[in-house]
Amino acid sequence: MSEITESEERLARPLIRLAKLVGVGTSYVGMSHDYHEIDDDVLIEVLAALGIDASSENAQLIAIRRILNERYSRLVAPTVLHIAGSEDRVLVNTGILDVPSASITLENGEPYQGTVEVGPGDGSQAYDLDGTFISNAAVVIPADLPIGYHTLHVKVADRVQDATLISAPDRVDLLDPMKGGSLWGWMAQLYSIRSSNSWGVGDYEDLKTMLVDAKQKTGADFVLINPVHAAEPVSPLTPSPYLPVSRRLINFTYIRPEAIAEYATLSAGDKNAVDGLHADTEPLNGDSQLIDRDAMWRSKMHALWIIFKAGRTAERQSAFDQFKADCGSDLEAYATWCLCYDKWGAPNGEESNWERKFNRNSPEIANLRKQYPDTLDFYRWLEWIAAEQLSSAQQAAKDAGMHIGIMSDMAVGVHPSGADVWWNPERFAKGATVGAPPDMFNQQGQNWSQPPLSPINLEATGYETYRNMVHGMFARAGAVRIDHILGLFRLWWIPENRSAMDGAYVYYDSDIMLGVLAIEASRAGGVVVGEDLGVVPDHVADALSSHGILGCAVEWFEQRDGVFRAPSQWRPYALASVNTHDLPPAAGYLEYEHVKIRERLGLLTGPAEEFEASAKAEQDAMLAMLVEQGYLDADFAEHREDHEADIIDALYRALKGSPCKLLAASITDAVGEKRAQNQPGTNNEYPNWRIPLADAKGNVVPLETLFDTPGVQRFAQIFNS
């Protein structure tokens, strides 16, 4: 069947030409190979979110001319990519008789000492820029240019223009143990796993213990945790770790007060006060039904204020000052936003919405900062302490012998009312959110309520926002898992007040963004995993693997037309797991917990009997594969109710039989937990991201004994055999 494309008549229309000029997709092929052309009014609104007026044909023609004039009037694009070890050519816009010259300033501020030559361009047609014909030449970027973020200076006559020159390795190298084999580790929801020293919610000290115990007691080389991006400063706290207020900073509610250096030197009165506040939260550790972040934070925040006010030694204050200087405006943005939130409340409603009334330059904001200097510094300090404790956990993992340590999860976006959007609105699209078009799983599409980064701003600023975010994550982790990595290639933008069906894909420069990942991962000696579940275009899969970025292989999803693929056929460049946090643990899945939840909450679009029948057929097909491949005794499959643990073990033996470079075991599977951490399509109907770790009988599993439990030890034996 020939590929369906837009007609020549449609492609000639100014609106379509304008959209394509700035990377807005005007058609797409859906999950079921169904072809869609985007309606004009949707395209106009998506272009408006990019700051482009396309409200009439005349406006569209003006916009096309303006954008082309801007592009050709620049000597060089604002951001250019170079692959280290190869010779690249960067086009320069010049007059036909002009001869450009170029030089490079390295990331460290020193001039590049090699020769930067200029050669002929690509021979493309000249452009008429208001009566001046613009042709092009090419700056030859030398193969020996080091990896980093440099500045390219281009000069033509008396004009000089700079560009951010991103020199990236061609791929992320595998860690040595992964080159001829694989590494394995655990998947954990940090907040759900508590020790007797927790304040009702798992914290960074618990993470440190978890990492060391995982290595020493099971031989694991990493722990994949939920995102720990920055959250609100006061209750109520958003339960979902995938809707942070900033992806640049980290979540300070995971601080352990007693692990702060200054706790040891508190006065007797202050120490008693902190200990008393801790005692107030101790009953929360035994609750097997619900994680109560708000109760935890009300006590913990008070304790942290006591420690902050006690002061620091000159040496510690110097370290704090250096942290503030290193973080720069990103820390000021978050700390100021926290101060406003603290004093003025959540930015919602009309009267109380300070985000709508004020911006970072408003005198009211400056006055608030002057009025509460201690509180402002408190929020800076919290971020410093959180960064210290997360870094300490990663260092402990490496000291224990882990090859990776922490695998951090990067959320796809940020809260629309969060610090990132408020302080730097120019970085984001205005009037659009990110989601997904309709597919067989979500017939109405999905709206994730997160404003997308503007590709125009990214290019104009040398991708600084993205670079800083990735750098910050690799500073305290050995691997980064990127949620919805397809977003580096394209994102489904939904105009404000429209349904998720009425959107369009906006395309990003994936080569540059993958290049940034390669730089930061290589500098950290780390690993990148991209969550690429669902339908992935061939060019995306090829780009990820060619850059050394691992995808995800989820055993329950490795099927086609009702037949499960043998693990031996899975792709090597992947993180393999039995399930995800959006599915019930293995025991719950085998007992059809996902069917019961959806039926109970009214989430089914058809008869419950049909969904249950399809779930049973899926389970039958999975067990058939396990039996056929020799991972499960046929008798166990026949009497599955009596052999649940054997089936779960078989699921994990199958993982071990794959060629995947990373293998992940879910802690919930190992202890027999049956409840899902998250039920997509719900908010408060289900306690998403608030389920404590418990065993098959509903008893809390404390961190102190977690890695000694029979299931954990059994899984370790499977992976270490």
Q: What is the 3-state secondary structure (H, E, C) of 378-417?
A: HHHHHHHHHHHHHHHHHHHHHHCCCCCEEEEEECCCCCCC
pLDDT computed for residue 351 by the predictor: 66
Question: Which residue ranges of the chain lie beneath pLDDT 50?
Answer: 1-2
Buried b (16+ CB within 10 A) or exposed e, 308-325: bebebeeeeeeebeebbe
C-alpha to C-alpha distance for 391 and 223, rounded to whole angstroms: 14
Three-state DSSP at 251 gives coil
Helix (H) or strand (E) holding 599: helix 593-600
Phi, psi (deg, nearest 5) at residue 456: -70, -45
Structure tokens at 612: 């249950």
- Are 447 and 263 contacting, i.e. CB atoms less than 8 angstroms apart? no
Share of the chain above pLDDT 90, in %: 87
C-alpha to C-alpha distance for 25 and 143, rounded to whole angstroms: 34
Side-chain-facing half-sphere of 272: CA atoms under 13 Å: 3
End residue of a domain, out of 392, 426, 442? 392
Place of tokens 């939840």: 597
Nearest to 340 by CA among 312, 300, 367: 367
Three-state DSSP at 284 gives helix
Q: Which residues pair with 250 in a beta bridge?
A: 229
Structure tokens at 104: 């490079």
Structural domain includes residue 587: no
End residue of a domain, out of 5, 40, 70? 70
Three-state DSSP at 366 gives helix
pLDDT computed for residue 410 by the predictor: 97
- Are 199 and 284 contacting, i.e. CB atoms less than 8 angstroms apart? yes
Q: Which amino acid is at 307?
A: I
Structural domain includes residue 268: yes
Place of tokens 């205005």: 430
pLDDT computed for residue 3 by the predictor: 63
pLDDT digits (tens, 9 = 90+) for 461-492: 999 999 999 999 999 999 999 999 999 999 99
Instruction: For residue 80, give every residue at least 6 positions away whose Cβ sits within 8 Å of its Cβ, in sequence order, or none.
Output: 90, 141, 152, 163, 164, 165, 166
Q: Which amino acid is at 521?
A: A
pLDDT computed for residue 350 by the predictor: 67
Burial of 290 per CB tally in 10 Å (0-12, 13-18, 19+): exposed
Q: Which residues pair with 187 in a beta bridge?
A: 224, 666
Number of Cβ within a 10 Å radius of residue 610: 11
- Are 199 and 299 contacting, i.e. CB atoms less than 8 angstroms apart? yes
Helix axes 538-546, 510-524, angle to 10 degrees: 30
- Are 405 and 220 contacting, i.e. CB atoms less than 8 angstroms apart? no
Q: What domain count does the chain have? A: 2
pLDDT computed for residue 441 by the predictor: 59
pLDDT computed for residue 601 by the predictor: 86
Place of tokens 């000290």: 205
Structure tokens at 170: 């061609």
Structural domain includes residue 657: no
End residue of a domain, out of 70, 90, 109? 70
Three-state DSSP at 181 gives coil
Query: Domain span at residue 47?
Result: 17-70
Structural domain includes residue 286: yes
Q: Which amino acid is at 547?
A: H
Structural domain includes residue 346: yes
Nearest to 201 by CA among 240, 254, 245: 254
C-alpha to C-alpha distance for 513 and 408, rounded to whole angstroms: 18
Structural domain includes residue 495: no
pLDDT computed for residue 537 by the predictor: 82
pLDDT computed for residue 403 by the predictor: 98
Place of tokens 């991209």: 530
